[in-house]
A and B are shown apart, each in its own frame.
Chain A
Amino acid sequence: MRSESTPLIELRQVSKTFGKAADSSVQRLLQRLHVTRPRPVTHAVDKVDLRIQRGEVVGLVGESGCGKSTLGRMVAGLLPVSSGTALVDGQPRDSLTPEERHAMRLKVQMIFQDPSSSLNPRLRVDRIVGEGALLHGLTDKHGFDDYVSAQLQRAGLSPQLRQRYPHQFSGGQRQRIGIARALAVQPELLVCDESVAALDVSIQAQILNLFMDLRDELGLTYLFISHDLGVVEHLCDRVVVMYLGRVVESASVDDLFARANHPYTQALLAQIPRFDVRSTRYDAIQGEIPSPLNPPAGCHFHPRCPHATARCREEVPALREVSPNHLSACHLNDLS
């Protein structure tokens, strides 16, 4: 029996860099001799710890380019980690046999922002939805039609539409096809990367309701990546905030929205347009998110932080517990 506390997914000090500097000693030598210059390295994800418990809905928020999708793809096993360990059900992914790894990959499915680009335009809906399940023996030739119908129905699509091609559907319906395809391989965790961002408000509500229904029916776990804090607040149990490749805060939704600790989270929350707030005077945080190619030293947020001190410019703040299950990475917490 699995123990209650073994997370479905756990990342330990996971990093992802793109554009490796020097792969070989020859390259390093050439660089030291100034014959070649090191290629720029993007620290897309920098030593991130993340635990997702079964049945939990975890929101992942942050500005564009901060590493949300990269992290999501590593959770889904679609992208290898550069360093650190990813564990599925307590087992390190790289210690698995190829067969085990394959099974693990089915457990975690990803739903993307743009449903059209992730659906093969030349395939009919039934093949898009059912092919993976057929390949992995979750259904057979005889059961195929019924199996596909069940998935379509669960995603809120009429099984009668099975013979159509993706372009014959609306954006919201295409997103449902993507969801039906993911459900068909019986996953435990869905990584949703901006899955409702491209949809209109009224269609967005329909898809969010579908996610909530599936959670109840199938006990699914979610990593929900979104720039829309309103959606995250509605849907998630816990929120993780990223800034320039690092996790800066993590807390339950209630805690985060009522008592954000990190100055970046506070600024972010202050700037979401709110329906109930009329005649806002927008008081923006200054500056833009710096390039991850050349992140500021110390606390990455210091050039934009109103509380920055000399220490912030040199020392990376550690992610520490500021109250039970509420983590934040800010030097200000040492003062209290």
Chain B
Amino acid sequence: MSLPERNAAAMSTQAPTQTPTLEVRNLCTSFYTRAGVLPAVRDVSLRVAPGRILGLVGESGSGKSVTGFSILGLVDAPGRISGGQVLFKGRDLTQLSAAGLRELQGNRIAMIFQDPMMTLNPVLRVDTQMIEAVRAHRTVSKREARAHAGRTLALMGIPSPEERLRAYPHQLSGGMRQRVAIAIALLHAPDLIIADEPTTALDVTIQAQILSEVQKLVREQGTSLIWITHDLSVVAGLADDVAVMYAGRIVEQGSVADVLDRPQHPYTQGLIDSLPSRNKRGQRLRQIPGMAPDLLSMPTGCAFAARCSRATSVCAQEPPEREIAPGQTVRCFHPGAADAQ
């Protein structure tokens, strides 16, 4: 797709009337461990419209994966969704039966993991797995299913799909395995894909190939995509919207242009400022002091306070999520441009 076309597509989906594919409202997920209750996801709200890509960014342990798993109803004990709603095309998935969820998973909603072997079965040939996946949700002949599998591999830009269909996962390189896993996720042209760091372990050249194919598909098929990553530069190039997580909460959210160019939350600003490319070559990097809090013993109030240069006494309260510009929300008592400080 050419650039102008893409921008046009992005504009049209920005229309406020568009019903989102996914709307998460005040989601809370905790792990009830022997050491205590660990609130991994706290009061998370998100929306993703058709054909849009939301980048979910944050550092290790901030709750990105648990958010993804919660949306899909894949949180296992000792974890549990303890509050909120996950509305998929208006239906609340948290209220769905296990059978109802299974029918949606791998069909209307798909997940892509960092490790493709979470999706792939090591002892089955690629075609066997893909045929099975097609026929799980559609009554077609094996032949038709296999042909569809081949077309989907080709769609992912996989060279000589016929050869790959006959391969076992271990015969493929890491990048090829990930592309096959993504192709399986795409088999039923799902309405929503949640991708959890699928390119983090891959080389930049392979990452670029995958990003290019995924981006094309989302635009063409109107899929909603949540791309989980810790890499702000990937989000900058790929996503339309971005949500920044810290200690289980979304601290800032909005369009990529707003949040990355005009970040208002001190944590977002700190993250961006610490990127080597945002610093003068050879100079010390600006850094956020300290480290993320232990979720098992969270301080009350703003979780970032101990590292924040703007913290005041009011920050001992929990900052509410507030809209500070159309479509941009921030959880901070003292939001504002970094220069204003």
Contact = CB atoms under 8 A, between A and B. Distances in A.
Interface of A: 63-64, 170-172, 200-206, 208-209, 212-213, 227, 229-231, 233-235, 253, 267-268, 271-289
Interface in B276-299: 276-279, 281-282, 284-288, 291
A93 to B, nearest CB: 31
A212 B284 contact: yes
B236 A208 contact: no
Nearest to A202: B288
Interface stretch (B88-96, B105-113, B198-206, B308-316): B198-206
A282 B271 contact: no
A208 B207 CA distance: 24
Please indicate which of the listed interface residues A205, A267, A276 has the most CB atoms of chain B within 10 Å of its own CB.
Answer: A205
A201 B233 contact: no
B233 A230 contact: yes
B59 A200 contact: yes
A281 B173 contact: no
Contacts of B288: 202, 205
B58 to A, nearest CB: 9
B337 interface: no
Nearest to A229: B204
Given A274-B277, A277-B237, A278-B260, 11 more contacts: A64-B203, A201-B59, A230-B276, A235-B276, A271-B205, A271-B207, A279-B3, A281-B3, A282-B212, A283-B212, A284-B208
Given A231-B276, A280-B237, A283-B212, A267 B205 contact: yes
Interface residues of B, number: 49
Contacts of B155: none
A279 B205 contact: no
Contact of B233 (A267, A274, A282, A285): A274
A191 B238 CA distance: 34
Interface in B178-227: 203-209, 211-212, 215
A170 B291 contact: yes
B275 interface: yes
23 contacts: A63-B205, A64-B203, A200-B230, A201-B59, A202-B270, A202-B271, A212-B282, A227-B203, A229-B204, A230-B277, A234-B285, A235-B282, A253-B281, A272-B233, A273-B211, A273-B231, A273-B233, A274-B277, A275-B233, A276-B277, A278-B257, A281-B212, A285-B205
B287 A284 contact: no
Contacts of B205: 63, 267-268, 271, 284-285, 288-289
A260 to B, nearest CB: 14
Contacts of B215: 281-282
B278 A275 contact: yes
Contact of B237 (A64, A212, A279): A279
B7 interface: yes
A282 B207 CA distance: 9
A274 B204 CA distance: 12
Please indicate which of the listed interface residues B1, B203, B215, B260 has the most CB atoms of chain A within 10 Å of its own CB.
Answer: B203
Contacts of A283: 208, 212
Contacts of A64: 203
B209 A233 contact: no
B230 A275 contact: no
B169 to A, nearest CB: 16
A229 B231 CA distance: 14
Interface of B: 1, 3, 6-7, 10, 59-60, 159, 173, 175-176, 203-209, 211-212, 215, 230-234, 236-238, 256-257, 260, 270-272, 274-279, 281-282, 284-288, 291
Given A200-B59, A201-B271, A233-B281, A288 B237 contact: no
B230 A201 contact: yes
A301 to B, nearest CB: 12
A278 B237 contact: yes
A231 B236 CA distance: 18
B285 A208 contact: yes
Contacts of B287: 202, 205-206, 209
A284 B274 contact: no
Q: Which 6 interchain pairs have the tightest Cβ spacing? A: A280-B237, A282-B212, A234-B276, A205-B274, A284-B209, A273-B233
A62 to B, nearest CB: 9
A205 B173 contact: no
B237 A274 contact: yes
Contacts of B284: 209, 212-213
Contacts of A277: 236-237
A41 to B, nearest CB: 20
Contact of B208 (A200, A209, A271, A287): A271
Contacts of B260: 275, 278
B3 A200 contact: no
Contacts of A203: 59, 291
Nearest to B274: A205
A204 B232 CA distance: 14
Contacts of B286: 205
A256 to B, nearest CB: 12
Nearest to B209: A284
Contacts of B203: 63-64, 227, 289
Contacts of B208: 271, 282-285
Given A206-B287, A285-B205, A288-B206, A276 B236 contact: yes
B201 to A, nearest CB: 9
